[in-house]
Chain A
Amino acid sequence: MKTSTWVKLIIVLLVVAIFGAYTLPTIVGKKNAKYVSELFGGILPTDTINLGLDLKGGMHLVLGVETDKAVFAVLSRAVNNLQQQLLNAKIAADHVIPSGKDATIKIYLVDPKDTDKAVNIIMDNFPNYKIISQGQPIVIKLKEQIVAKIKKQAVEQAINVIRNRVNQFGVTEPTVVKAGEDHIVVDLPGIKNANRAVKLLGETARLELHLVDDSVSVADALNGNLPPDDEILYEIKRDPTTGEITKVPFVVKKEPVITGDMITNAHVMFGGPLNQPYVAFELNSEGAKIFADFTATHIGKRLAIVLDNVIYSAPVIQSRIGGGRGEITGNFTLEEAHDLALVLRSGSLPAPVKILQKVTIGPSLGKISIDKGKKAMIFGSLAVILFMIFYYRLSGLLADFAMALNIVIIFGTMVMLHATLTLPGLAGIALTVGMAVDANVLIYERIREELLIGRSVHDAVNTGYARAFITILDANITTLIVALILYQFGSGPVKGFGITMAIGLLANIFTAVTFTKTVFDIVLEKFRPQRLSI
């Protein structure tokens, strides 16, 4: 044989070996693959192909972080600060209104003559703000790069918190990734209780301890006589027998005593007369000191435990509480207590999240899809395989081998790249099977033509391959362009379609041209046939 044929043969065998090794575990199963790999000293890959959620069941969530609310929180703190400073400077402000949407604060002064003084205070003390209007009201705006930073941090922090929660929830191979500017995509394969997971991930989990203001009657406050530094929050009580929900209003101080970021740990405990579950939490040293000092000076008062603006309980402070420990009681089920402890441990979200998209696929549906997809692929491929043999005889069989090799390369590459096989991805493979033989059809038709005009077998094969090559390139490039665009702009399953098509088309050039040509070369050199089975 010629050296060039040897080189080609070695390349082909290498490709078959490498991609075959990566595809094998998916076919024989992980366990068998491990066994086989050990026989070879553990050098063989044992990873199987990654199945998409549509094939193995699970939940796909797209969460949107409400970054405006994170901006609003920063503005609110500035508003408090500003009101204090204006008060110190004896400037009376009617009201000061923050707006998270456009990151502005509007300041309505009682006396317009104070405007200059107020503006000076703002310029001196609030370097992060631009003054937009000096009229009535004064409008100041948080600088854009600061807003962008707050939003970015809010999303990053939210991802960390959610990742934390997902990891503690105990799902195998979860993914939490950022998508676009403020989206978080969470994939939880094989999850059983999807609703519980959603609740757990979406909980803002902002825990705060507020002093109950006993100096104001609740009825008064509800009628509008609410002191400016107080707010009304509700305790939601659920009757365990009737399931009836009652809302009990409380007047509490706006400024929290303790906030969730001071919590270092939380876990479920049991206690009380009914041995009910409750959540015990621990504070960091700063929180512990504040808590001890505060409880020492407020004995006999009530402290409301507020989670996401809902009061869980408002126990009376009996004595100074040292050691930085506290507990949250309520009518928890064990599951609820467990989840509450989990979200407290993993920290609070910097801004609320909303569900933008939720796809839950039961494992049985995934199995149906796999079975049907497999069936379709087998029927389709079988039809193509038989047809090729019928039409092109031995050469058709060779094209079938090329097609099989193409599928092996697709699977192998996907395992290597840790790409995910989805249902449309399976369709993509099936489609590639149909198109894979196209290259060989082009070549074989050309060879037949060349044979018809009287060329020798050797020449006909060479000319056929050479002439068809450009056309094959063209054909694959146009489809490849589309496949790449699909990969870039598609989401989830459609991405899977794009990637299998792209790999299939690239592999096609190798399998349909290089691989089959090598076999032809060997046959032509070894046997010098006078006729071709084509």
Chain B
Amino acid sequence: MVQIVKPGILIDFVSKFKLAVSISIILIVVGIGHLIIKGPKLGIEFKGGTSIQVEFDKPIKVTQLRNAIKDSRIFSDSRIQNIGSSNKRFIIYTKVSTSSTTKSIEDTLKPLLKSKFGDTFKILEVDMVGPKIGKEFRDKGIIAIVLSLIAILIYISLRFQYRFAFGAILALIHDVLITVGFLSLFGYEFTLDVVAAILTIVGYSVNDTIVIFDRIREKVKSNRKLSNVEAINQGISETLSRTVLTAGTTLFVVLALFLFGGHALKGMSFALLVGIISGTYSSIFIASPVLLLFKGQLIPEKKEVDSTDRFKQQIEFDIKQRGG
């Protein structure tokens, strides 16, 4: 039997809480600080503008490309991004967008490139977003994030007592902040895909936390003599192999997406990569120790059995009935 984590192992995670909090705070402050100082790098979906992806037959220099287009009013303050390492594919970003149906921005670009590079280029993609719809996308993105948070909040509150809900939500906010900060630090744009990735992280983070909470709760109920610290340490330790395995398999695929998925999936897979690592870390080192911030027993005795427990008891009963 191959084992990543030895069964029966007990690690004192709780004592690392202060260290973990310090690391998290530093990471968040650096990341979010960067975001605030530099301002968020919004994708054109959110701020409006045009991005044009061009591919050349032969490798060219960015400066050549810049010189070819800089005299045009539309492209004078445009940004050029080199995709991949072949020096053949570039994305040109400009703040200008046009709502006119008769004259397009790529029509302005084509002759500029033609005069410098001849027929050696191809326009692969044009993405034009008007400022008005950019605002709509922004609003929708914000609504989606807020709605997800509210929905998750309701779900956790229904499933757990307040202190667990508090821990899960704190971990979730932690993960979102870390991800957003890292995106900013590494110069990724906030696009619709990235927002989708952040929302996915919200789901993932909570899911990871819930698995551990479930086990902590089970520990407390099966042995009332356990101290809070013991219960939490045991809960995390016993689920540790699952936590590592799931994070591992999910990371495999996300890493594959990040490495091989091409330019279009870079931002999204980077966000997922950071979020999943952060989500795994936070459910162990942040969400669970937070439970100790509240005084008293983790789960007060004689509290009415909630529906999940009733379900579990039913299952136990069934198993016994079958002769286990």
Contacts and interface: CB of A to CB of B under 8 A. Distances in A.
Interface of A: 54, 62, 64, 180, 183, 194-195, 198-199, 201-203, 353-362, 364-365, 368-369, 372-373, 375-377, 379-381, 383-384, 387-388, 390-391, 423-424, 427, 430-431, 433-435, 437-438, 441-442, 445, 448-449, 452, 455, 459, 462-463, 466-467, 469-471, 474-483, 485-486, 488-491, 493-494, 497-498, 501, 534
Contact of A391 (B140, B196, B203, B245): B245
A109 to B, nearest CB: 38
Given A427-B269, A452-B7, A494-B193, A475 B207 contact: yes
B133 A62 contact: yes
Interface of B: 1-2, 4, 7-8, 53, 55, 98-102, 104, 106-107, 122-130, 132-133, 136-137, 140-141, 143-144, 147-148, 151-152, 155, 159, 192-193, 195-196, 199-200, 202-204, 206-207, 210-211, 214, 238-239, 241-242, 245-246, 248-257, 259-262, 264-265, 268-269, 272, 308, 311-312, 315-316, 318-319, 322, 324
Contacts of B151: 481-482, 485
A476 B246 CA distance: 13
Contacts of B252: 380, 383-384, 387, 434
B211 A442 contact: yes
Main secondary structure of the interface of B (DSSP, over half): helix
A448 B7 contact: yes
A482 B99 CA distance: 33
29 contacts: A194-B126, A199-B102, A201-B101, A203-B101, A354-B99, A357-B129, A358-B128, A360-B125, A372-B260, A375-B260, A376-B260, A383-B252, A384-B252, A390-B2, A391-B245, A427-B265, A430-B253, A430-B254, A430-B256, A445-B245, A449-B7, A455-B324, A467-B312, A475-B210, A478-B152, A482-B199, A482-B203, A490-B140, A497-B196
Given A430-B256, A486-B144, A494-B193, A360 B126 contact: yes
Contacts of B214: 470-471, 474
Contacts, number: 256
Nearest to B205: A478
B261 A391 contact: no
Given A449-B7, A470-B214, A482-B203, A434 B159 contact: no
Contacts of A485: 144, 147-148, 151, 199
B133 A434 contact: no
Contacts of A476: 207
A368 B89 CA distance: 12
Given A361-B125, A467-B312, A494-B192, 17 more contacts: A195-B106, A198-B101, A360-B123, A369-B262, A372-B262, A383-B256, A388-B249, A430-B257, A435-B204, A437-B246, A437-B249, A441-B246, A445-B239, A445-B242, A474-B211, A485-B199, A489-B140
A479 B123 contact: no
Q: Closest 7 CB pairs between A and B?
A: A202-B101, A380-B253, A380-B256, A372-B262, A434-B250, A479-B203, A482-B203
A489 B100 contact: no
Nearest to B195: A494
Nearest to A373: B261
Contacts of A369: 262, 264
Tell which of B199, B265, B308, B318 has the most Cβ of chain A within 10 Å. Answer: B199
Contacts of B101: 198-199, 201-203, 353-355
